[in-house]
């Protein structure tokens, strides 16, 4: 069974960094990249995802709008979502958690932060593999 990650970042460089980590080191073997809400909506409608990694400034309405779209999608409403925030902003983290993100990475993306967050989601039973 394929393990799918949906990478929702507007910046191609970040898309590639997350894709490489997910495929090479985190146990995923399939991915879909969305660079805007139209692509995100399309990916959510095609198949169930195992994880979404979402940029806080995802175009055009940010992570809060994208989270609402994900949580209202019948196929993917329960998918774990990790939001990556460039700033060290605990208020934004709290807001995103209130919008039903499963985890928030503050201070920007690094492989180590993503791996640690995936490990936490596995330990909580939110990722099953």
The third-level CATH classification (topology) of the domain covering 4-123 is: Rossmann fold (3.40.50)
pLDDT tens digits along 8-67:
999 899 999 999 999 888 889 888 999 999 999 999 999 999 999 999 999 888 999 999
Q: And the tokens for 9?
A: 């970042």
Threshold 0.75, pTM exceeds: yes
- pLDDT number for residue 58: 93
Nearest to 30, CA basis, from 56, 1, 55: 1
3-class SS of residue 85:
coil
Is 1's pLDDT higher than 80?
Answer: no
Give residue limits of the domains in the chain: 4-123
Q: What does the block give as tokens for 71?
A: 């949580």
* Cα(122)–Cα(129) distance, integer angstroms: 8
φ/ψ of 47, rounded to 5, equals -165, 165
pLDDT tens for 80-120 read 999 999 999 999 999 999 999 999 999 999 999 999 999 99
């Amino acid at each position: 069974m394929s393990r799918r990650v949906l990478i929702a970042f507007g910046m191609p460089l970040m898309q590639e960094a997350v894709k490489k980590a997910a495929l090479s080191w985190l146990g995923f073997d399939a991915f879909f990249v969305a660079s805007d809400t139209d692509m995100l909506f399309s990916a959510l409608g095609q198949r169930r995802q195992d994880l979404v990694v979402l940029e806080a400034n995802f175009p055009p309405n940010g992570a809060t709008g994208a989270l609402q779209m994900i949580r209202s999608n019948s196929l993917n409403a329960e998918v774990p979502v990790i939001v990556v925030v460039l700033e060290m902003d605990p208020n934004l983290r709290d807001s995103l958690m209130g919008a039903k993100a499963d985890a928030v990475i503050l201070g920007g993306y690094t492989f180590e932060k993503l791996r640690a967050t995936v490990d936490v989601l596995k330990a909580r039973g939110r990722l099953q593999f």
